Amino acid sequence: MENKKSKVAIIGTGFVGASAAFALSLNQMANEVVMIDVLKEKAEGEALDINHGLSYLGQMSVYAGDYSDCADCDAIVVTAGANRKPGETRIDLAKKNVAIAKQITENIMKYYTRGVILVVSNPVDILTYKIQKWSGLPRGRVFGTGTVLDTSRFRYLLSQRLNVDIRNVHGYIIGEHGDTQLPVWSATHIAGIKISEYFDDPANGFSEEEKAAIAQDVKKAGAEIIKRKGATYYAIAVAINTILESLLKNQNTIRTVSSVINGEYGIDDVALSLPSIVNSEGVKEIINFNLTDEERSALEYSAEQLKIVLEQVKDI
């Protein structure tokens, strides 16, 4: 960490927000972490629980606060939102969480002085787009976790299939954080060796059916976890933590975060995930991959589907 003091606000102290704060404390990633929730006692309880372990971790200031504490933050993390209920459509949930996000944005901007707004709440691409517009902040100063977690799940599945250390597996999921996301197989490699060239015997390589199955497993991973334990929060907390590390340490790390796209890959006026350089200012640059025609077509379709949802919530 750089020598300057760092401050992070986390809005929403449910499973995801609390786990993210805990991960920050384990890694001593910030000097000051403020937890904000409409249920003030919940935020106070989570802060106390973390504080009681700090003697084994290191000195930090972790406390429950309010929106005025968003001033002078390096990063403001938005995790608050409603969960999808039985019988509720995707659009119903989008409308509900867009309305919540609008209130949150208005409250943040009353006290905002600097820093990045990191959107975690779902639908993350829709909320990232709307918060970017509402906030009036420069492009890239607002971005979402996007497919950072999906990318990690993709690499995990490949490492299991190939029996290779996950740290040597490189690949990306791009597009929507949702049903229309896609793996960039053309840029997937093992320690620099293209996945298509990794196998001595091509017969041992990935068939198109197996590729499709892996992509589907990535898409449904969250639902599988929710079916078994009710919610997902550990892995997304790690994803949030690694993004915040890039921000707080000004690392210029490449992550598949979601940001508003204006012209890249021929796509305009929508937020979706692409490999992007992330530093203390937010999204510094979007990397231009040489996608195949099939991948480019799938990415364009993903953008179109997100625009359909944006049209449904445009009046909120």
Q: What is the tens place of the pLDDT at every residue in 173-221?
A: 999 999 999 999 999 999 999 998 898 776 678 889 999 999 999 999 9
Is 189 a catalytic site residue?
A: no
The model's pTM is: 0.95
Q: Is the pLDDT of residue 2 over 50?
A: no
Q: What is the tens place of the pLDDT at every residue in 230-243?
A: 999 999 999 999 99
Nearest to 254 by CA among 284, 234, 281: 284
**Domains, the chain:** 7-144 (3.40.50.720), 148-312 (3.90.110.10)
Q: Is the pLDDT of residue 274 over 80?
A: yes
CB 175, CB 289: distance < 8 Å: no
Active-site residue, from 52, 170, 177, 189 = 177
> Helix, strand, or coil here: 251?
coil
53 membership: H or E segment, kind and range:
none
Q: What is the tens place of the pLDDT at every residue in 15-44?
A: 999 999 999 999 999 999 999 999 999 999
Share of the chain above pLDDT 90, in %: 89
Angle between helices 40-51 and 15-26 (to 10 degrees): 30
> Helix, strand, or coil here: 210?
helix
Burial tier of 56 (Cβ tally within 10 Å: 0-12, 13-18, 19+): exposed
